[in-house]
Structure 1
């Protein structure tokens, strides 16, 4: 019986299926597929509008106090096209799908998914505003059980969806804490599985995964700074000339500015952490921050989207959370809804062998064509995507020493 040739559509279908099983972090994101581009194909720059949850304040008593419905939107842009290009002998198309995938598609998808994962994780720089570490003598050391319990508590105070908390760790972080957590896993079959695999599953209210694409962060050399002017709010705070630098992704606090519970607006008794959204040079006089600093109204009345108990006072001290000029692994506890990755169908070019498929929110395209100039048959696997940390407060950085 003659061998049947693999078609490009069959290969594309296998590639997109393998995507979800290749990278632990990518497997746990909120992924969206937009079929509006199914006919004409998406291009870099195409965008999707995402509606954010509405926030309300609660009245006391029978008298109504109507508040405007203030919907907030954000835009996710399909800003990046990435792919893998390869050339393989035509005879290999006689292989089975499984054999072909093992030799060519799985390695290509693994590398492509890894690059996309790094891009999405890097997007946490300047977005994720919650941070926890374990320090000794001013230096970051390996996180403990309490570190992860605190990270989980931070997610709760930010009103992240419950029962869906996850943590992605660098393999070295995973190895360092696996032993400490070994007795916390139930039932006994899971303890046995952890012993055999060396990997954690579920503990401390978190689903655990390890991923080698966890990024590193190097903090700025910041040593001192104060606020310039009272009553400030928003995403940029005027300062007196700071000493040292701030890096995008650094975490800072302002003296006297506590965070509030996102639902009740009650003071949760700790300084509100803000992430620096762009680098600040030494002697800089303005710091971009997230989340927006939104204080209460007159008399301390709760307001929609409130984030803090008060605006910083004039000359309030600015502090860097964590050591200055330190490089650390940026493990992240999060819920999938914190970050969204969207893909769309790329255009199918004319006069080529091409296939396109989508699975579980991810669309990929494969194109194959003979190249006259080099006497080769080239094959390319592409994805066009965008990502956005839609609710970065639903994620917590858990620092670990290198």
Structure 2
């Protein structure tokens, strides 16, 4: 019996299913769909607002001390339109859905998802925690292949920022570069002598689920980061607060995504407001030239027992700054995170008129547009699949990089 011609709705739904399931990283972040553009279609540059959780402080005693609720949000701009285009004959449109999916949609969506994941993966450069085997309390040490202690330390960094251990999207995730995965499976092969997990690792060559507090996975889009050349610098001026740090002219550069510690500046737990007993880590949010006197950082320096407080006290004048991982070091930036640390949002693209077919579909927070036009000269149908998206690191403190030396 001849196969019926595939409809645009069938093709779009199948393409979306493959797109969402083909990339591990995209499966494990928060994906949101904004339906406010459903009729007219969104444009590149439209901005959404992602709301953040509120924080409060407690009181002691019976006298109420009402607090203002300060709503915070992160802007997310749908600034990127990514697509993949294919051409096929009328005969190929008569294939079964399974054949069409395997021959055309699978490679097309795998490429599209991989490209988008590579872009969104840059959000890891905003994570404000970094650890590695051999890291000292002040951030010094030589990066080596992570062992169980390094992964457990990453989990502790998340605990100290009150990162959930589980939410609606599941457990905390650990995403590894293929080379780091190979090394980690070897390092942790006998973990706790759990014979079932050892057997699973032996068969798959991969870390399993729910080990050391994480669900594990490998992703080829894990980035490689190179620290700046910074070797010396100190705080210039006591009592500083906010998202930039004034310093004496630095010796060497900082790259966006570098992580620093400041002597004497200890982190606080967002819930208990108490000191973690460890130096707070700050991520550098933009490139900084050698000799600069200002370093942009996250989180902001907010001292004391207050809502959204981050540190026990502002840095002292002359406090030394340490670049975690060392100057000019290149490493694989594997990471652990809560799925809500990173948000990717998509919006509907406009459906054009005067074409053979045009269709939109949404699935699990992703909107995909499918458009086909007929090429009468070559007797081909030319189709395009498009996603309009943007991303933001909504909670950078809910992620921690785990370095592995190249």
| TM-score category (smaller protein) | over 0.9
Partner of 2:89: 89
Deviation at 1:20, TM superposition (A): 2.1
* Partner SS for 1:182: coil
What do the CA deviations read for 1:14-71 (whole angstroms, capped 9, x no partner)?
1101112201111111111122222111221222222111111111111222221111
**TM-score (norm. length: structure 1):** 0.95
Partner of 2:281: 273
Q: Following superposition of structure 1 onto structure 2, how do residues 333-348 of structure 1 map, counting pairs within 5 Å?
A: 333-348=336-351
Deviates more, 1:211-220 or 1:190-199: 190-199
What do the CA deviations read for 1:103-161 (whole angstroms, capped 9, x no partner)?
11111111111111111111222x21100012499542100100000111111111111
Partner of 1:75: 75
The structure-2 alpha-carbon separation of the partners of 1:186 and 1:34, relative to structure 1 and needing over 3 Å to count, comes to farther
Deviation at 1:78, TM superposition (A): 1.0
Partner of 1:145: 148
* Partner SS for 2:188: helix
Partner of 1:222: 230
Partner of 2:43: 43
Answering whether residue 320 of structure 2 is matched by residue 329 of structure 1, we say no
Q: 1:174 aligns with which of 178, 181, 196?
A: 181
CA distance in 2, matches of 1:335, 1:86: 36
Deviates more, 1:236-245 or 1:346-355: 346-355
Partner of 2:201: 194
Q: 2:161 aligns with which of 158, 163, 182?
A: 158
Cα pair 1:40 1:347 within 8 Å, conserved: yes
CA distance in 1, matches of 2:232, 2:89: 62
Partner of 1:255: 263
Q: 1:233 aligns with which of 241, 249, 261?
A: 241
What do the CA deviations read for 1:350-379 (whole angstroms, capped 9, x no partner)?
021122111111111111112468775321
Q: Following superposition of structure 1 onto structure 2, how do residues 302-313 of structure 1 map, counting pairs within 5 Å?
A: 302-313=305-316
Partner of 2:109: 109
CA distance in 2, matches of 1:189, 1:317: 48
The structure-2 alpha-carbon separation of the partners of 1:254 and 1:84, relative to structure 1 and needing over 3 Å to count, comes to same
Deviates more, 1:177-186 or 1:248-257: 177-186
* Partner SS for 2:190: helix
* Partner SS for 2:101: helix
Structure 2: state its 5+ residue gaps.
none
* Partner SS for 2:111: helix
Q: 1:393 aligns with which of 392, 397, 403?
A: 397
Partner of 1:32: 32
Deviation at 1:11, TM superposition (A): 1.1
Cα pair 2:90 2:380 within 8 Å, conserved: no
Partner of 1:360: 364
CA distance in 1, matches of 2:266, 2:390: 33
* Partner SS for 2:9: helix
* Partner SS for 1:255: strand
What do the CA deviations read for 1:47-102 (whole angstroms, capped 9, x no partner)?
22221111111111112222211111222111111011121222111111111111
Structure 1: state its 5+ residue gaps.
297-301
Deviation at 1:186, TM superposition (A): 8.7
RMSD over aligned CA atoms reads: 1.7
Size of the aligned set, in residue pairs, is 396
Q: 1:243 aligns with which of 234, 238, 251?
A: 251
* Partner SS for 2:249: coil
Partner of 2:352: 349
CA distance in 2, matches of 1:341, 1:265: 30
**TM-score (norm. length: structure 2):** 0.94
The structure-2 alpha-carbon separation of the partners of 1:293 and 1:374, relative to structure 1 and needing over 3 Å to count, comes to farther
CA distance in 1, matches of 2:141, 2:277: 23
Deviation at 1:179, TM superposition (A): 2.5
